[in-house]
Amino acid sequence: MSELIETAFTPTVMPATVLLLVVSLYWSIAVFGGLGLDLLDFDLDFDADFDADSVFDSIMSAGAVTLRFLNIGQLPINIWISVFAIAFWTISMLWRSPEGATAVLTIVAMVVRNGAVALLPTKVLTQPLRGKFEPIEPKEAADLIDHVGVVTTAEVTPRGGQARFDSAASPLLLNVRSAQTVLAKGEQVRIVDYDSASQIYTVERLSQKEL
């Protein structure tokens, strides 16, 4: 174990190790701390119009195609980074200089090489996930008022959280906040309101009579 840890923190492997530790910390907080899984998720729009007569725009267009090919923007960025971190760390551990690199340029070159190679398994592993995380929203948010669901994060507070609600297609994982009190994981809740501006549903605990 000590040899593994020592290897993981050698100069050529340490960037991948740090990234993997950050990802592990993120998921630990997400699972045990009630952090919304969409914290690091953001939309990457690659559908902008480019001027074909501009060299710069042509380069930008090619870059967007490359990112789309690597599935960046095709699924939540936190999922993509997590897969990349595992691939990057594994390749860095397996493909390192046995003598140990000391020159800065050599270390940088090896880190960049390992990161570039890690893009291939990341592409392969994330390919089946494309389209799996598309949000499924009802035609009208108001249709979900009075729907009953279950809290999935460690808690739901007046500031936020998540809950799962059954639907005709597949379960909906929605961003919610409690009307007043803190709601614990596993509690049954009812949607009582919807804020169209923030796209967040307000829920309240089911009474004992409703359970």
Of 16-30, 119-133, 141-155, which one has max mean pLDDT? 16-30
- pLDDT for the residue 6: 85
How would DSSP label each residue in 103-121? SHHHHHHHHHHHHHHHHHH
- Could you tell me the residue ranges of all domains in the chain? 2-129, 141-205
The lowest-confidence range among 11-15, 95-99, 133-137, 193-197 is 133-137
107-137 pLDDT per residue, tens? 899 999 999 999 999 999 999 888 776 655 5
Non-local (6+) Cβ contacts of 103 within 8 A are none
Please, which pLDDT band fits residue 42 given cuts at 50, 70 and 90? very low
pLDDT at 102 over 60: yes
CA 125 to chain centre: 15
Rounded CA-CA distance 13/194 in Å is 47
Structure token pair of residue 66: 């490359």
Q: Return the SS3 of 41.
A: coil
The lowest-confidence range among 6-20, 94-108, 175-189 is 94-108
Q: Which residues of 116-130 are buried (b: 16+ CB within 10 A; e: fewer)?
A: eebbebbbeebeeee
Rounded CA-CA distance 123/125 in Å is 6
164-197 pLDDT per residue, tens? 998 766 788 899 999 878 999 999 999 999 988 8
Nearest to 12 by CA among 126, 104, 145: 104
What pTM does this model have?
0.54
More confident residue, 141 or 129: 129
CATH architecture of the domain with residue range 141-205: Beta Barrel (2.40)
- pLDDT for the residue 43: 46
- pLDDT for the residue 39: 47
Non-local (6+) Cβ contacts of 15 within 8 A are 92, 111, 115
- pLDDT for the residue 114: 94
Rounded CA-CA distance 204/183 in Å is 8
